[in-house]
Amino acid sequence: MIAVQKSTPFSRTRRSLFGKSPRFADQYELGDLIKQGGSGSVYRAIKKNSTEKYAVKVIDRTKLSKQAEKEILREVDIMRELDGLEHTTKVVDFFVSRKHYRIVQQLAKGGDVQDWVIQNGAYQENEARVVAIKLLKTMQQYHDLGIAHRDIKLPNILLERADDNASVVIADWGFANRIRPGQPLTKACGTPSTIAPEVLADNPSYNQSVDLWGVGCIIYSLLSGHPPYKLRNGDYHALFSQIQQQGGYKSMECKRWANVSLEAKDFVRGLLQVDPEQRWTAGEALQTAWIAGQKDWRRQNTSSSLRGNQPQTAAAE
């Protein structure tokens, strides 16, 4: 089990931004680096006078614009709002100093799903289905609350336990935002190889459906061991053209898909619809034959070729 401490209430944490703030070093010991990202570095940490282990996202404030600082505060706000939902990374503490923001979160002991696939190959179909159900139910909850994650991808899906490749939790809320009626999202953000096609438009205008595109990319990768879209030789134009083309992902008729059911392939196609109006919602995807059916979906793993970093793109909204 992951130790999650319910520490300072968020209202008190927020007030500390405008008054005297507690010091991270007084309460935690910083450990080794877990992951270096575009928005900050994630380290292990131990709560002092205990054995409780956490992950800490450390963000350098000295390099941030005022808009970027607002987005970090929004990230923590949203994480607090989602506190208590299953399959969602829990925020434990939030520290502000002159030079850094530090977001203390639950520690996922199994690493991320991308690393799991690189090391072990594709998921068995029934395993991928379990992950799909968890992701869809969680997306449905987020969207009912009016929140879009906007960067659903393998490295942001963590494993609570190293011995269970379906013990998923969704992480990294740096691009998350609230969706208000009649106010579409307009920020061109995400990860190039998993960004939804509508975000690539000259004047983006989109909603929470981008998260379902991300789920489609994830399940495609779990079933095949390969991403549906891949940046090659730094050619972003070619990558984005492929994403914006209906059915532009790598064919599902090759050998690595030979033992995957037609129902699973149809599920992926339904989420990787270029037109967001044709793309399934989370609720609709939960009613598909692959998800709602009673068939035994087991099959053998295939080898993986997931490799390389997935850089982020961002612009002011």
Cα 266 from Cα 279, distance rounded (Å): 12
Reference 177, options 155, 201, 199, 154; nearest CA is 199
CB 202 within 8 A of CB 257: no
Give Rg (Cα) of the chain.
Answer: 20
Residue 83 is a catalytic residue: no
195 Cβ partners below 8 Å, 6+ apart? 210, 240, 243, 313
Q: Are 250 and 104 in contact (CB under 8 A)?
A: no
The SS3 assignment for 240 reads: helix
DSSP 239: H
What tokens appear for 89 in the block? 């990374």
Q: Which of 151, 164, 211, 235 is catalytic?
A: 151
The per-residue DSSP string of 168-219 comes to EEE---TT-EE-BTTB-B----B-GGG--GGGGSSS--B-THHHHHHHHHHH
C-alpha closest to that of 287 among 268, 267, 312: 267
Of 111, 103, 89, which is closest to residue 171 (Cα–Cα)?
A: 89
> Which residues are catalytically annotated?
151
